[in-house]
Amino acid sequence: MGKRILITGAAGFLGSHLCDRFIGEGYKVVGMDNLITGDLKNIEHLFPLKNFEFYNHDVSNFVHVAGNLDYILHFASPASPIDYLKIPIQTLKVGSLGTHNLLGLAKEKKARFLIASTSEVYGDPTVHPQPEEYWGNVNPIGPRSVYDEAKRFQEAITMAYHTYHGLETRIVRIFNTYGPRMRLNDGRVLPAFIGQALRGEDLTIFGDGSQTRAFCYVDDLVEGIYRLLMSDYAYPVNIGNPNEITMNDFAQEIIKLTGTSQKIVYHPLPQDDPKQRQPDITKAKQLLEWEPKISRQEGLKRTYIFFKSLSSDEILKQPKQFNEK
């Protein structure tokens, strides 16, 4: 009998790619998502498969899955500022109550548990690049704290279950990731720039453009997550691409890629926005023999092809409104 895995946030950008990977590896995949930021379009190709089942459920409420589970991947959470600033309470709940519910399920099923943490646990870092040993520089009551602190709590409770209950746990700290199935209107810099280019709008940079990001293509990230899950390492591991770039240079890359001629406009930097973001991936190289393989040039080309294939309605669509619970 094939191994069975629960993936929360399954209809989201990363969750849907993970569903594809584990289906491809021969697993029985149980997808779960409340569709508040996810989209069934991302996984509709999996519905005809006998190895895939889907539950529309909010993991902040009690989670029940009948039958055995070998692995649980907790990827349910708003992941872009435009989302988590609109639904701050749900963001905190999925990181705290949701993680607690799923840890309880993992304990009951004796399943190995992996959480999607984030480079945001480092806040606006004073150490560069960021190694896993760095404890971070996070404003606990700032606008971004609903995401940053939810993820920090998520790591803390996961480690508590590991040390107190002996649960097999894994923690991946994900740095900026991109690729097909991102929402064009999710507010993150890469889809924002490409969306602006496709609509013929000027490219918007917040701050003076000297801040940096390091972008990892989704296929590389999924490979790193897979290797971490199969490893025997319980502590956090950075997975990301250390190839750092300033926002000014990145905007120029997008203009060149899209063949458009917009100008760049500058707006004030939002509060607590990180000035630098670059993963130290020494641990991933040593423990998992992993490093990214896909260049930014190649990854951007694939992502642009995906975004260009969207309908004009989707390209023009504004971010959706949320009801806070």
Query: What residues act catalytically?
Result: 147
Q: How far is CA 27 from CA 66, 79, 271, in A?
A: 16, 26, 43
Handedness of CA 293, 298, 302, 304 (dihedral sign): positive
Residue 315 token pair: 């390209």
Residue 317: CB atoms within 10 Å: 14
Helix (H), strand (E) at residue 114: strand 112-118
**Omega before residue 274 within 30° of 0, cis:** no
Q: Is the backbone of residue 261 left (phi > 0), alpha (psi -120 to 50) or beta? A: alpha
Contact (Cβ atoms closer than 8 angstroms) between residue 9 and residue 15:
yes
Which amino acid, residue 91? T
Backbone angles phi and psi of 239, in degrees to 5: -125, 115
Residue keyed to tokens 């496709």 = 198
> What is the three-class DSSP state of 309?
coil
Angle made by CA atoms 264, 265, 269, in degrees to the nearest 5: 120
